Amino acid sequence: MDIPQKLVENAERVFGDRARAWLPGLPGVAAACRDRWDLAEGIPAPHMSMNYIELTTTAEDCPVALKIGVPHDDLYTEMEALRAYDGQAAVGFIDSDHDLGAILMDRVQPGTMLFQSGCDDAEQTRLAGAIMRELPVTVPQEHGMPHLTDQVAKAFTRNRTTPELAGTMPEELMQTAEDLLRQLLTDEPTEILLHGDLHHENILLDEQRGWLAIDPKGVIGPRAYQPARFLNNRLPEGSSEKHADMTRLRLDILSEILDCPSATLAAAAFLDRILGTSWSLEDEGTFDMAPALANAHMLQRFL
């Protein structure tokens, strides 16, 4: 099996020794998955990050995608979220195996990413907003998916107390993010099932079903948080005014589609930016935070 070097590097960076122990056994895990689900030996997907993805077919010659990752909580909650979505506005879920760390899904063909669509940003935002509106939001009665409040509390606590991280994230930004989260939950106390990572690269085109969401994290939180990751993704390089203009347009479009005030969506996007930067500090150590912090300050203009 040809394991892409980028996958190796990403997995080892995030999972360390767990990934180094897992990678040599990956060919055997893939073989076990093919036996379990009676799959043909397929080909590696063209785009992989930390998980191995094989494009293959079932015994009935149906095209499917096999996703295998280092067994960990995010992979398990993805299984839960895909099962809850049941193919509504999302890739079709077929089966999963916790022990193998594997998910079997319908194959999305041709699998064009939203940012590759040729549409301008406004149309891409409308297409994404339609998916956000259609994704199921009912929280399963029994689940192991994390709550956004817990994710924020744990990330910010680690940032404040871990010696090598303490002081790297401005305290006033974390406090603002915490205040905004409390306000979001006060304004809409009923929490929903959130995708948790819905951005341009996680929306793919299927020739039969149209645009579909993939790779959900599976998080429980306020409805306004659903578009947060999208709002912070693929912003133009250059001046802060270009960022502000694009963000303003995205907020206006999503506010109308989702029937949610643009200021509320901006608050959720600010929270997501600070949370994501905190996670990046944990994963990568020190890095140039200036673009992320500039984006956060820009979002404050819309609150």
The domains of the chain, with CATH numbers, are: 5-107 (3.30.200.20), 112-300 (3.90.1200.10)
- Evaluate the CA torsion angle 226, 11, 214, 217 in order and state its sign: negative
Q: What is residue 88's predicted lDDT score, i.e. its pLDDT?
A: 98
CA 282 to chain centre: 17
Residue carrying the six token digits 């099996």: 1
- Smallest Cα–Cα separation from 105: which of 33, 177, 161, 176? 33
42 CB neighbour count, 10 Å cutoff: 18
Backbone angles phi, psi at 65, to 5 degrees: -120, 130
Backbone angles phi, psi at 59, to 5 degrees: -60, -25
Q: What is residue 33's predicted lDDT score, i.e. its pLDDT?
A: 99
- Smallest Cα–Cα separation from 184: which of 265, 254, 250? 265
**Rounded distance, CA 303 to CA 286, Å?**
29
- CB-count burial class (<10 Å; 0-12, 13-18, 19+) for 282: middle
Q: What is residue 2's predicted lDDT score, i.e. its pLDDT?
A: 85
**Rounded distance, CA 167 to CA 189, Å?**
32
What does each of the 303 residues of the chain score in pLDDT, given as a tens digit? 889 999 999 999 889 999 999 999 999 999 999 999 999 999 999 989 999 999 999 999 999 999 999 999 999 999 999 999 999 999 999 999 999 999 999 999 999 999 999 999 999 999 999 999 999 999 999 999 999 999 999 999 999 999 988 889 999 999 999 999 999 999 999 999 999 999 999 999 999 999 999 999 999 999 999 999 999 999 987 768 899 999 999 999 999 999 999 999 999 999 999 999 999 998 877 778 999 999 999 999 999
**Rounded distance, CA 39 to CA 59, Å?**
6
- Tell me if the bond preceding 163 is cis, omega within 30° of 0: no
In sequence order, which residues have a C-beta less than 8 Å from that of residue 232 and are 6 or more positions away?
199, 269, 272, 273, 276, 295
pTM: 0.96
